[in-house]
Structure 1
Amino acid sequence: MYHKEVAEPCVVPFGSDHPDHVFRNTIDTAFTRAVRYSTTLSQFEEEIRQVKLMFLYNGNPPRHVDRRLTKLF
C-alpha cells in the first residue's frame, strides 16, 4: 500500500472524549483498507503490523486493537 512519506501515524487519541463507536470504527476502517488494498499476503501482514503500531502509538490498548482484528476476521 502506498503511504506518503510526510504522513504521520496519527488517528483519534484513545484518551480523547469521543464515543466508543468512533474508536471501533477507526480501527475497523484501517483494517478493512489493509484487506482491500493489499495484493499479496506479505503486503497484508506488513500493513496490519503498521496499523497496529499506529494505534499503539496513539494510546490504544493492545487488547482493544487485537479484539477488533479478531472480530473482523
Structure 2
Amino acid sequence: MYGRYIDDIFMTTDQSIEEMNIQLEKANNKDINIKISTSINTSVHFLDVTVINESGHLRTSIYHKPTTEPYVLPYTSDHPRHIYRNIPYAALLRAARICSNVEDFHSECIRIDMSLLLNKYPAAFITEQFQRFFHLNDAISVSSQLNKDAYQRLHKISLHQSTRREKKLREGP
C-alpha cells in the first residue's frame, strides 16, 4: 500500500526493517537537498490518521495531536444557522471515512459530542444533527447499537462519496 500527500508518504511492505532501512538510506543519499525521515512501527500517525497493523490488517482511526483543543465554531457566534448544522455532519462524515472499525467510530462520536457541548451547542441540537447524519446515510442501526455490519456499509459508502468539488468537476462548466 502506498499513499502520498504533497511531501508526506505512507507505505506498507513485506520487507524486513533492515531491508527497508537499507533502501531508505540509499534514497536519502541520492540528493543532499532531500532528507527522508522515517517512522517504522506497527502503529504510525500519517496526517490526521493513526494506522495500526493488527496481524497484517490495517486499522485506521483519527489522530488527534495531544496539544489540540476541542475547538469548533462556537454556537453563540453570529453565523448563518446552516453552518452550525454542517459542523457535526462534516465531523461525523470524516470519522466514518477514517475509522475502520465501529468502536473507534463510536469513540470519535463521543469526542465530537463533547467538543460541541464545550462550544455551547445545545444537547438537543447535537442529538438532532447526529440523527440527521445517520438517517441521511442509511445507518440508523449504527447510532442505536454498535452494529459492525451496518458500520462497515457506512464506512465504505462514505469513503466513496464524492466531494462537492469532485461533483462539479464531473459536471463540467
TM-score normalised according to structure 2 size = 0.41
2-side partners of 1:54 and 1:12: how far apart? 10
Q: Does 1:10 align with 2:62?
A: no
* In 1: Cα distance, 2:132 partner to 2:112 partner: 16
Structure 1 unmatched ranges of 5 or more? none
Q: Which has the larger radius of gyration?
A: 2
Matches of 2:133 and 2:86, distance apart in 1: 11
Take 1:72 and 1:13, find their aligned partners in 2: how far apart are those partners? 20
Q: Percent identity?
A: 33
Residue 69 of structure 1: SS of its match in structure 2? helix
Aligned to 1:69: 130
**Which structure 2 residue ranges, 5 or more long, are not aligned?**
1-61, 135-173
Q: C-alpha separation between the residues in 2 aligned to 1:44 and 1:11?
A: 19
The Cα of 1:72 is off from its aligned counterpart by 1.1
Q: What is aligned with 1:31?
A: 92
Greater relative contact order structure (CA < 8 Å, 6+ sep):
1
Q: Which has the higher helix share?
A: 1
Pairs aligned (count): 73
Give the letter for the 1:3 counterpart: H
Report the alpha carbon displacement of residue 27 of structure 1 after superposing the two structures with TM.
1.3
1:2-30 CA-to-partner distances (Å, cap 9, x unmatched) read: 11111100011001111101101111111
Amino acid at match of 1:34: A
Runs of 4 or more above 6 Å deviation: none
Greater strand proportion? 2
